[in-house]
Copies of this chain bind each other. A is one copy, B any other.
């Protein structure tokens, strides 16, 4: 277990809650009781220079990424985003032009997804630039899709294509807000998560929360062009299947539904979202752990999604 995971387990074991806390720490968003109509979703997500972006990256795309990561978590609950506050940590000799371009990208994404930017602050950061986004959202009461309700025999689906996000997608992805709302309106989604750490890590979160295991079918993984190109770069290159399983920052949706809904979902999806792939990549099983099935057989997955502390 990494030090970060151990730390988070220790921290989350003692957090105070209230009677209106429906879902506390441990899902994509917190869910707070807010009366009979809808529940409140709360999320914070931070990006750090040198970890999630480089200073050479286009600042407007970094601004997009800062907000879009949090939007992706609202999507993973099938929620609708609302208001955001932006905390920007800047060195003493910050570049005003960089900050303005960062906000240009962030504001454009906010407008696209009808998010109000209602405040925040700049603080001095002696090390590197960081940006923490606090985002609220709404979801109809009892309609938030959690990680914990995956059922044995469920079909596992992912949107889009996976792997190689570092080649550009991590700065330029579309949070799946409208796709998740459509899915939630038309299907009974049992469990959902957004892929920030790779299937290996994030499917593990669903399985642990639901007390189940899963089998992933290598041949059905939607491998991105970036992952396939990278896999050809020599003997030391990461195979595309491994990239799809373990690369971070795909920000696609991973969800489980009753297997009887699978064909209907694929058919309807193609009509509504013809430009975005949807793939059935495996199934939920009773046996704990995640197993990868490929031409060589079935074997337990030992690789994990990447961990910022390792």
Contacts and interface: CB of A to CB of B under 8 A. Distances in A.
A181 interface: no
Contacts of A18: 82-83, 114-116
Interface stretch (A128-136, A158-166, A184-192, A236-244): A128-136
Contacts of A87: 44, 46, 87, 132
Interface of A: 3-4, 6-8, 10-11, 14-18, 20-21, 23-27, 29-30, 32, 34-35, 37, 40, 42-51, 82-83, 85-87, 89, 92, 94, 96, 99-100, 103, 107, 110-111, 114-128, 130, 132, 134, 136, 308-309
Contacts of A92: 309
Contact of A117 (B3, B24, B103, B122): B24
**Among all A-B residue pairs, the 10 with the closest Cβ atoms:** A127-B127, A30-B118, A134-B134, A25-B119, A18-B116, A15-B117, A44-B85, A132-B132, A24-B118, A21-B116
Contact of A126 (B48, B132, B309): B48
A49 to B, nearest CB: 8
Contact of A134 (B25, B44, B308): B44
Contact of A46 (B11, B16, B35, B121): B121
Contacts of A117: 15-17, 24-25
A114 B18 CA distance: 7
Contacts of A14: 103, 107
Contacts of A50: 126
